[in-house]
Amino acid sequence: MESAYMLVFVLGLLGVASTDFLINDLDHPCVRKCKTGQKPMTCEYDWTVESYLSMSRACYQCPFNEFDCHLPHCIPMAGYMRPVYSVNRRLPGPSIQVCENDVIVVKVRNRMQNEEGEGIHWHGLHMRNAQHMDGVPHITQCPISAGHDFTYKFEANLPGTHWWHSHAGNHRSDGLFGPIIIRQSEKDDINSDLYDKDDPSHVITIIEWTKAMSSTVDLSLFHAVQMSPCDGILINGKGTNHVVTRPDNTSASVGHHLMYVKKGLRYRFRVIGAAANVAAFIFSIDNHRLKVIAMDGAPVTPFDVDRITVFSGDRYDIVVTADQRPTNYWIRVAGLLDCFRHQEVGILRYAGTPKGTVPRADRTRRAEGSLLNPFDGNLSHDATFISELTDAEEKRDDLSHADVTHYLELNGVWRNGAKGLHHPVFYPYERASNTTYTDTPVTVINNISFAFPEVPLLSHWQDVKPSSWCNEDSLRKSGKNCMYVACDCIHRIDIKENQVVELVFINILDVLAHQMHLHGYTTEIIGMAKMYKYFTIEDFKRLDAEGKIKRNLKNAPRKDSFMVPQGGYLILRFRANNPGWWLLHCHVDYHLKLGMGMVIHVEGDMAPPPADMPKCTNF
């Protein structure tokens, strides 16, 4: 008898039904049909965060026995053993699926073996009147210390597809992430007539993976003995391209992730980009068009496309019509940037298709056709920027006039002493091209490298040393020239409550698209374009004064995570009606570590912190 089946047999002897030990988030009582006027539920979750291992003993004969790959505590990944961070020994972590206005209560137990602190961010949720729940260590809270517990509690008042992830260290890239789906009633959902099924299992989370821990990859990048930042891609935690070979030369791979449909029905799929590093993915389904109906939880006028570029933090709700011959079709996720050599596939399986079968189409072929959100900004007749989509809801606020505009230049610069990358005497960046090491740039906003404070700003900003704060004005007055020396400080912008704020992002170099994320807000994307190989703030201001910069002030789409094109710009607006200290940063993990971040301080009154907030201080 196979070991996994013996486990089922033993559990039966102990009085446990054979299916009781299988973990299924969709059995949670809060996963239900949402109805107008229904009483909100309190949805409780108990999470243990810990260091763990993929392909542990819990996996038994996985991948040679597919059943074993689905056992509790088995994290198969790509069939490769490596350390991971996990919630309840899952990857992706638990799925939260609730109805609008439910109350979400998550008890987080930090049981990290290496004594690391933790914080869980609820990506896409604004945390209005619950700012202390945003989950960013040293911005909105102290880290949850190892061995300690903390309970997050907030209202699910922003419907749509969102996700949660760790905001501590490399924990997100090594496994601490999962979906949050907030549904509406059919009456309240503006797109409900566009689909027949919104199956809770039709959520797809995409991330890259490496054979080494992310901290190892980062340190190799920072200190110039570079390793591969991408060894493959995972679709809902499964990678099928790595072949596992036994001593007897038998081999197997982890099985494909399956999504089931029935011919003639229209399905709402929810796609979440969880990439940690410089990676993006092109999502497509063979022989099926994708009807985009929402981005980052905000509905858009339906837009049909063949492929979508998904960056870190992006969420796309799409409708897939099952109108093809009932069989198997590849769900393709093609890697870009640092993952350009890799493609992963899942299977869209029609009802009646035999089990164990796979599509006949070449799995290595990359999809073609019309593309939404081109990563390099090069538009053609079949490529569309997200800024060209339109909001599906009536205008909620008048953002036609900006009270204040901030210009934010994104760049990579070389500075001795910054972030410990280059020593001015032993290994200065000027000598890198003539030695065995390579130079590593510091990622900056307006030539400032962001430094996290020693205490959380939301509750203890008064305790921060005055010399730790900075912005362009303060640095100019100090006489410090950040063009030549390292400016490493708490980069801060103060905004008055209820102002209409315009942020103009300038991606100065035609090298890399940056994916930015603003906490606490969903913004209107009113303009974006690719320009020159070297495009500056001065170039933008000149063209704007000449009337050559276009702004969509009528029905601009809304997002909280947004790609700034290579050598181009992105313009967004929002009303500053959510007081707090909100992090704005590149969603590439190591870009934030290297300084591409800042805090937006929106003035105004807030609720006091909960009594059980984690404690920390600067001794």
**How high is the pLDDT of residue 225?**
72
Q: What is the mean pLDDT of residues 230-234?
A: 95
Check whether 10 has a pLDDT greater than 70.
Answer: no
Domain endpoint, select from 373, 394, 428: 373
Check whether 11 has a pLDDT greater than 60.
Answer: no
Q: Is 607 among the domain residues? A: no
Q: What is the mean pLDDT of residues 232-239?
A: 96
**How high is the pLDDT of residue 20?**
35
**How high is the pLDDT of residue 435?**
65
Check whether 381 has a pLDDT greater than 80.
Answer: no
Q: What is the CATH number of the domain that holds 245?
A: 2.60.40.420
Task: Tell me whether the omega of the peptide bond preceding residue 63 falls within 30 degrees of 0, making it cis.
Answer: yes
Please, what's the b/e burial string for 536-545 (b: 16 or more CB within 10 A of its CB; e: otherwise)? eeeebeeebe
**How high is the pLDDT of residue 436?**
65
| pLDDT band, very low/low/confident/very high, at 551 (cuts 50, 70, 90) | very high
Q: Which tokens in the block code for residue 598?
A: 């800042």
**How high is the pLDDT of residue 344?**
97
Tell me the C-alpha distance between 589 and 121, whole Å. Answer: 14
Q: What is the mean pLDDT of residues 267-295?
A: 97
Q: What is the mean pLDDT of residues 60-84?
A: 95
Check whether 599 has a pLDDT greater than 50.
Answer: yes
**Domain total for the chain?**
2
**How high is the pLDDT of residue 21?**
40
CA separation, residue 310 to residues 212, 274, 373 (Å): 24, 9, 8
**Percent of all residues in the chain with a pLDDT value above 90, rounded to a whole number:** 74
Whether residues 491 and 580 share a domain: the answer is yes
Tell me the C-alpha distance between 133 and 199, whole Å. Answer: 29
Contact 200, 260 (CB under 8 A): no
Tell me the β-bridge partners of 165: 121, 177
Tell me the C-alpha distance between 413 and 444, whole Å. Answer: 7
From 49-63, 145-159, 223-237, 368-382, the region with the lowest mean pLDDT: 368-382
Q: Is 380 among the domain residues? A: no
| pLDDT band, very low/low/confident/very high, at 18 (cuts 50, 70, 90) | very low
Whether residues 295 and 417 share a domain: the answer is no
Whether residues 346 and 436 share a domain: the answer is no
Whether residues 212 and 156 share a domain: the answer is yes
**How high is the pLDDT of residue 13?**
46
Check whether 378 has a pLDDT greater than 70.
Answer: no
Check whether 591 has a pLDDT greater than 60.
Answer: yes
**How high is the pLDDT of residue 22?**
44
Closest CA to 64 of 239, 244, 205: 244
pTM over 0.85: yes
Tell me the C-alpha distance between 391 and 70, whole Å. Answer: 40
Whether residues 345 and 446 share a domain: the answer is no
More reliable by pLDDT, 426 or 103: 103
435-489: pLDDT as tens digits: 666 778 899 999 999 999 999 999 899 899 999 999 888 888 888 888 888 899 9
DSSP state of 540: H
Check whether 400 has a pLDDT greater than 60.
Answer: yes
567-586: pLDDT as tens digits: 899 999 999 999 999 999 99
Q: What is the mean pLDDT of residues 543-552?
A: 95
Closest CA to 281 of 206, 331, 209: 206
Mind spelling out the 3-state secondary structure of 343-382?
EEEEEEEECCCCCCCCCCCCCCCCCCCCEECCCCCCCCCC
The mean pLDDT of the chain is 91
Whether residues 408 and 546 share a domain: the answer is yes
From 41-50, 307-316, 460-469, 476-485, the region with the lowest mean pLDDT: 476-485
HSE (side-chain half, CA atoms, 13 Å) at 416: 11
Q: Is 609 among the domain residues? A: no
552 Cβ partners below 8 Å, 6+ apart?
A: 387, 526, 527
**How high is the pLDDT of residue 513?**
86
Q: Is 382 among the domain residues? A: no
Tell me the C-alpha distance between 235 and 204, whole Å. Answer: 7
**How high is the pLDDT of residue 481?**
86
Q: Is 230 among the domain residues? A: yes
Provide the 3-class DSSP secondary structure of residue 237.
coil
Whether residues 346 and 412 share a domain: the answer is no
Alpha helices in 402-551 (DSSP H): 457-460, 472-478, 537-545
Closest CA to 278 of 363, 377, 210, 177: 210
**How high is the pLDDT of residue 283?**
98
Domain boundaries, position 29: 3-373
Whether residues 347 and 466 share a domain: the answer is no
Whether residues 432 and 347 share a domain: the answer is no
Q: Is 618 among the domain residues? A: no
From 7-16, 183-192, 412-421, 453-462, the region with the lowest mean pLDDT: 7-16
Whether residues 553 and 491 share a domain: the answer is yes
Whether residues 425 and 361 share a domain: the answer is no
Q: Is 615 among the domain residues? A: no
Q: Is 524 among the domain residues? A: yes
Whether residues 368 and 220 share a domain: the answer is yes
From 49-53, 96-100, 247-251, the region with the lowest mean pLDDT: 247-251
